[in-house]
A = this chain, B = another copy of it.
Amino acid sequence: MPMSAALKSSSSAFFGHLPSTVSIGTKVTRNANMAKLQAGYLFPEIARRRAAHISKYPDSQVISLGIGDTTEPIPEVITNAMSMRAHSLSIVESYSGYGTEQGDKKLRAAIASTYYKDLGIEEADIFVSDGAKCDISRLQLLFGSKVKMAVQDPSYPAYVDSSVIMGQTGSFQKDIEKYGNIEYMRCIPENGFFPDLSTVSQADIIFFCSPNNPTGSTATRDQLTHLVQFAKDNGSIIVFDSAYSMYISDDSPRSIFEIPGAKEVAIETSSFSKFAGFTGVRLGWTVIPKELLFSDGFPVAKDFNRIVSTCFNGASNIAQAGGLACLSPDGLQAMSDTIKFYKENTKIIVDTFSSLGFSVFGGKNAPYVWVHFPGQSSWDVFAEILEKAHVVTTPGSGFGPGGEGFVRVSAFGHRANILEAAKRIKQLYK
């Protein structure tokens, strides 16, 4: 029905009653899924509190160990490649326009051969992205609103929040701090941070992050074998987030595809952010094996290819040139040096809290330390450490109800800051 004529007289009259500077709401209904979301996304909320603290104490020299933000420069072997690629765009012979949405062929091949050699993952299974967080949302678009998902509790908040935005969930239930129709798989010290799968209900999509953000715990080969079998038994798809896999220093699997049969039940998403310091450069990838099929036999990768073609236009060509340099022998060595540095930071943080008598988890295979404050509210602990030590952490409950009573301390920082933060925390809790 043409609404224009029908509404013109009444709405003109309506507008006529108000001065032109007053905003008139449209008739478009707010997306009910957006309205379900609680407060702000966690990290901007922490940034807001940090800013408020600084304006209260302008001379306090706040140290941020909150958001897991890299602080060390990117090795020159990598930035040189990006500088050269940028320069090459000014030359007619080396200029290029649109890349393929799936990413540069050489980079896809290098990712496959560097991280998935002998695992049966090929160049064509790799989709280069502008980061794992962005790909998580594109995966949600792929799955649509009718699926039910499971997450580790606690876990990186983008899994749950993107699920809410896609309309997969019910409302937030304040009493239990959970959204309806999401399976929260509790990961606590008592179960070694691996969920008791016998208590987990059927879910279509299982988000699983190892090394885990925020707990820093890493699933063993046996545990991941169990998880893959669980997915097979239930017909679920695992979305395995391996953004921190280069921090693994024991023999825990760095990829879900190290587990036999995983190609039939798993997607893996990863990132250059925490390896190469690309948090601001933006580069990641997602692996969707051709063996992964929907219930009707349709390949999941084929639909994801359509998503990236329609909703994305590829990662920046300059970032991709940096990614390729990361995977050169010199780049891999340089990244490994940076990781070694952050791992030394991690040890300082672990030792600090341990020496004060706290139960400390994570840290071994991850740049995150998960400190227990039994019986206390995470936000209260966060506030106390900020107020008295001027150190920003992340409240565990921001990652889900299973994180209550913990704070996450990030090991990303300059050494002097880590040492100073350790000193202040020792002062606070001595």
Contacts and interface: CB of A to CB of B under 8 A. Distances in A.
Interface string A238-253: 0000000000000000
A3 to B, nearest CB: 4
Interface stretch (A23-31, A358-366, A417-425): A23-31
A158 B200 CA distance: 39
B101 A76 contact: no
Contacts of A161: 310
Interface string A60-95: 000000010111111110111011101101111001
Contact of A73 (B20, B90, B158, B264): B90
A64 to B, nearest CB: 10
B264 A295 contact: no
A24 B232 contact: yes
A310 B43 CA distance: 10
A162 interface: yes
Contacts of A69: 97-98
Contacts of A95: 71-74, 277
Contacts of A205: 28
Given A233-B11, A280-B314, A310-B137, A86 B86 contact: yes
Nearest to A294: B30
A293 B1 contact: no
A319 interface: yes
The 4 nearest A-B residue pairs measured at CB: A27-B235, A31-B144, A137-B311, A82-B86
